[in-house]
Structure 1
Amino acid sequence: MSAPLEALVTGQATNDEVERIRVPDEYLAAHLRVEDVGMFGDTDDKDVRKSLRVGPVPMPELAPDEVLVAVMASSVNYNTVWSAMFEPLPTFRFLKQFGRQGGWASRHDQPYHVVGSDAAGVILRVGSGVRRWRPGDHVVVSPAYVDDQEPGTHADGMLGAEQRAWGFETNFGGLAEYAVVRASQLIPKPGHLSWEEAATNPLCAGTAYRMLVGNRGARLKQGDVVLIWGAAGGLGAYAVQFARNGGAIPVGVVGSPHKAELLHRLGCDVVIDRNEIGLSDDAADDPDRVLEIGKRLGAIIRDRVGRDPDIVFEHVGRATFGVSVFVVRRGGVVVTCGSSSGYQHSYDNRYLWMRLKKVIGSHVANLQEQWDCNTLFELGHIVPTLSVVYPLAQAPEATRLMQTNQHTGKVAVLCQAPRPGLGVTNAARRASVGEERLALFRESGRLEEKVGA
């Protein structure tokens, strides 16, 4: 590794050194190929390790409002699982639709799709229209890809008709050595976090922040009881922290004693194993079972907390949504951002309208929400939920881990960083936050095993 590149990876490179680093003609990336779209057919197990490739792709040209980021680390999100399964539809349709706009958008319509909606790294180049950032800046990347010339964007970046999920509905995503992002996606990297710790935060933490804390979501307040499905996963573990940080009472639902122990360590006092309530993936198909599970869950929460949930944090979808609508208190809120178990939801509408409940749809976070969320990381009020790190060459294995729900917290992928622990530039803040808190979800021994350090 050359001296300038080593300085880049360790976080010590000067702006002048960064500008002298050569930009290659191609780079390694986890990507999909259009010719593989029909490869799974009617197969039940659409193993993402078969469709997600790691290999060279061409370096795209920068638009005036874009920057090129040397990606030190990225992380896996469920949209990468959907992408690699080609469900609910192949993402190449998104790229083709975007490309039809012409101009710079046409670059995205390629026979390959570089996926990944999280990244932490160093700005290597900036477009001619970029004003607030320069080469050498350490950044994390918001997945919200918005058009700042669209009127809806100025009310809320997530309301613009041209808002897209970067690395899912656009090309040149974060699971790669380099990424092309708009300047309006950039957030300063907290100096006390390593590359892989910082890379796990923007999508999941930003999404959870908007759902619970932001004024467009459930608007959590002190004393609220918050039911959090999948509370030991990427989204759920951040939701637990936001609830605690805001003076609310998180009630986490998990699928194993191991995950329950992790939640207790995170500070979630009330943890329910889904086996206690008899929840299974096919429960949504039987209204009587949904009602039975809802009554059982409600009784457990009232016994352990004293009252029904004010807010239900939903992202599981089909398997849990009917129970969520039933169990939330009269006048309460179900806030949803996804449907990992299926997006066709069934629920008894009587419990929604007659008890004046609300369902709020939420998607990612706008840039202000992302910056506000990032401030909480910088202060150490919220910590990453990183559990395991893979090298870029094993990105398909990392994605498979999430596909089979064998993960806890967040799964990171090292891209240009050769090993975990690099990129920390504020050792004093890190010491004040504490290694024990920062490593709360880390599985002892697995980091070295996966990255071959």
Structure 2
Amino acid sequence: MDEIRDAILADDLEAIGGLPTPASYRAVLVRKDEQEMFEGLPTREKDPRKSLHVEEVPTPELGPGEALVAVMASSVNYNTVWTSIFEPVSTFGFLARYGRLHGLAKRHDLPYHVIGSDLSGVVVAVGSGVNRWKPGDEVVAHCLSVELEDPAGHDDTMMDPQQRIWGFETNFGGLAEMSLVKSNQLMPKPAHLTWEEAAAPGLVNSTAYRQLVSRNGADMKQGDVVLVWGASGGLGSYATQLALNGGAIPVCVVSSPEKAEIVRSMGAELVIDRSAEGYRFWKDEETQDPKEWQRLGARIRELTGGEDPDIVFEHPGRETFGASVYVAKKGGTIVTCASTSGFLHQYDNRYLWMNLKRIVGSHFANYKEAWEANRLIDRGLVHPTLSKTYAMDDVGQAAYDVHRNLHQGKVGVLTLSPAEGLGVRDTAKREQHLTAINRFRDV
């Protein structure tokens, strides 16, 4: 790995293809024999710092249509947290099911799980049948892994029965010095970004793009009022940018004055600080408070001049879902991609059916949607929301911070890259967008 890293740092990318593939590499992983270590503890008390390990692992065999990538940087997503605390289920069940699919898939069913669903880096080797990518290419990766042997996936690859999230439902993820991906996960690295900045948007930007912009999601149009929960967070920060970029009107819900300032700096004008306004959507564990839904709806109309949201960008889940269904306009759309506060949602169905609202489920993105989302990053129309970067040895702390919501935007992790600030190829474009690129830094 040292030879490969040195060649990348020396900009000698043509030499990468002539270097031997390392027999092993350092990786962030969870262990199968520890998957019950948090049993009986409340979710909040489960500590990723105890379950995430950095260890040397063997380099997997390279198969047809695949690529090995030297990973310069990665990032922490909420699925990193889920994996680390073994919720809602241990990911080793995913790996076992994948391993039963075919002979090559058996590589993934191991007593350890190398995690991570983002990367930026350089292609080291490609398998047979790969034509678009070659050793030395600077890339980022999206996290959709598909087999595409079933016709169901050929209109929208997210509908492939064998659709998986790389680094969560597969092994050999991006929180490592090396990663194994399918070649159709690769996209060009934006040349004006550092390694850690380029690694930050992949999962969340693509997810927000499909959820909000794509016809497979909410199909947002100009002028739509979009309620964005957690508007300064990993998903919400991209949803806010996509709404503003697409001529929509975001109503940004945040949880502190500092977060309110961040979304205002992105250009959002309508902001609700839910902590300052004291919203409590649940009276207790079993009972929601419709009066609080009504109070939120009134506040939204106050900000918008009397309009309800055309689209509610949902991802907190249980805590907010009842309110989301209530506040959406008649004929509006609640589009959901996650449940970070709980998977069992409750809402008053009268407000859904009698007002002809729709709930749309959205999960990550297909290759075309991910490519389009990455293109917006490359053109400087959407920017990374990286707030802080950790060394790989400190990834447990990084995941803990995301688990406890102690972060803003996205949290990055350096893997092969020895320092922040490396990997920029287009300095002129970077200078043009530097303020926006650094907006979340160290907030």
TM-score by length of 2: 0.97
**Aligned pair in 2 of structure 1 residues 169, 257: CA closer, same or farther (>3 Å)?**
same
1:45-124 alignment runs, 5 A limit: 45-124=45-124
1:26 corresponding residue in structure 2: 24
Instruction: Classify the secondary structure of the residue corresponding to 2:94.
Output: helix
1:326, 1:32 → 2: CA distance?
A: 40
Does the CA-based 8 Å contact 2:148-2:162 persist in structure 1?
no
2:157, 2:206 → 1: CA distance?
A: 13
2:308 corresponding residue in structure 1: 308
1:280, 1:416 → 2: CA distance?
A: 44
2:437, 2:239 → 1: CA distance?
A: 16
2:337, 2:144 → 1: CA distance?
A: 14
Does the CA-based 8 Å contact 2:140-2:187 persist in structure 1?
yes
Does the CA-based 8 Å contact 1:5-1:21 persist in structure 2?
no
What letter matches 1:366 in structure 2? Answer: N
1:384, 1:283 → 2: CA distance?
A: 37
Tell me if 1:35 matches 2:42: no
Instruction: Classify the secondary structure of the residue corresponding to 1:158.
Output: helix
**Aligned pair in 2 of structure 1 residues 383, 295: CA closer, same or farther (>3 Å)?**
same
Shift of 1:220: 0.7
Which is worse superposed, 347-356 or 38-47?
A: 38-47
Does the CA-based 8 Å contact 2:212-2:220 persist in structure 1?
yes
CA deviation digits over 1:70-124, x for unaligned, max 9?
0000000001101111111100000001101131100000000000000110000
CA deviation digits over 1:306-365, x for unaligned, max 9?
111110000000000010000000100000000000100000000000000000000001
2:288, 2:120 → 1: CA distance?
A: 46
Does the CA-based 8 Å contact 2:30-2:113 persist in structure 1?
yes
Unaligned runs of 5+ in 2: none
2:298 corresponding residue in structure 1: 299
Shift of 1:374: 1.2
Which is worse superposed, 43-52 or 103-112?
A: 43-52
Shift of 1:9: 3.4
2:345 corresponding residue in structure 1: 345
Which is worse superposed, 277-286 or 412-421?
A: 277-286
**Aligned pair in 2 of structure 1 residues 58, 281: CA closer, same or farther (>3 Å)?**
farther
What letter matches 2:194 in structure 1? Answer: S
1:443 corresponding residue in structure 2: 442
1:113, 1:9 → 2: CA distance?
A: 28
Which is worse superposed, 151-160 or 231-240?
A: 151-160
What letter matches 2:389 in structure 1? Answer: V
2:155, 2:293 → 1: CA distance?
A: 37
Shift of 1:400: 0.4
**What RMSD, in angstroms, separates the aligned Cα atoms of the two structures?**
1.5
Does the CA-based 8 Å contact 1:73-1:119 persist in structure 2?
yes
Does the CA-based 8 Å contact 1:278-1:293 persist in structure 2?
no
1:451 corresponding residue in structure 2: none
1:449 corresponding residue in structure 2: none
**Aligned pair in 2 of structure 1 residues 9, 363: CA closer, same or farther (>3 Å)?**
farther
Instruction: Classify the secondary structure of the residue corresponding to 1:250.
Output: strand
Tell me if 1:321 matches 2:321: yes
2:333 corresponding residue in structure 1: 333
Shift of 1:428: 1.8
**Aligned pair in 2 of structure 1 residues 301, 284: CA closer, same or farther (>3 Å)?**
farther
What letter matches 1:411 in structure 2? Answer: V
Which is worse superposed, 373-382 or 234-243?
A: 373-382
1:189, 1:282 → 2: CA distance?
A: 44
1:170 corresponding residue in structure 2: 170
Unaligned runs of 5+ in 1: 445-453
Does the CA-based 8 Å contact 1:391-1:413 persist in structure 2?
yes
2:158, 2:112 → 1: CA distance?
A: 26
Does the CA-based 8 Å contact 1:200-1:412 persist in structure 2?
yes
Shift of 1:285: 4.0
Instruction: Classify the secondary structure of the residue corresponding to 2:26.
Output: strand
**Aligned pair in 2 of structure 1 residues 172, 282: CA closer, same or farther (>3 Å)?**
farther
1:53-452 alignment runs, 5 A limit: 53-280=53-280, 282=282, 285=285, 287-289=287-289, 291-306=290-305, 307-433=307-433, 435-443=434-442
1:82, 1:281 → 2: CA distance?
A: 25
Which is worse superposed, 422-431 or 180-189?
A: 422-431
Which is worse superposed, 116-125 or 151-160?
A: 151-160
What letter matches 1:311 in structure 2? Answer: I
What letter matches 2:102 in structure 1? Answer: G
Instruction: Classify the secondary structure of the residue corresponding to 2:49.
Output: helix
2:36, 2:363 → 1: CA distance?
A: 29
1:364, 1:284 → 2: CA distance?
A: 32
1:284, 1:216 → 2: CA distance?
A: 35
**Aligned pair in 2 of structure 1 residues 204, 142: CA closer, same or farther (>3 Å)?**
same
Does the CA-based 8 Å contact 1:126-1:133 persist in structure 2?
yes
Which is worse superposed, 407-416 or 54-63?
A: 54-63
Identity of aligned residues (%): 51
Instruction: Classify the secondary structure of the residue corresponding to 2:365.
Output: coil
1:450 corresponding residue in structure 2: none
What letter matches 1:292 in structure 2? Answer: K
Which is worse superposed, 147-156 or 119-128?
A: 147-156
Instruction: Classify the secondary structure of the residue corresponding to 2:376.
Output: helix
Does the CA-based 8 Å contact 2:4-2:70 persist in structure 1?
no
TM-score by length of 1: 0.94
CA deviation digits over 1:114-138, x for unaligned, max 9?
0000011000000012111100001
Does the CA-based 8 Å contact 2:25-2:56 persist in structure 1?
yes
Does the CA-based 8 Å contact 2:29-2:113 persist in structure 1?
yes
Does the CA-based 8 Å contact 1:277-1:296 persist in structure 2?
no
What letter matches 1:76 in structure 2? Answer: V
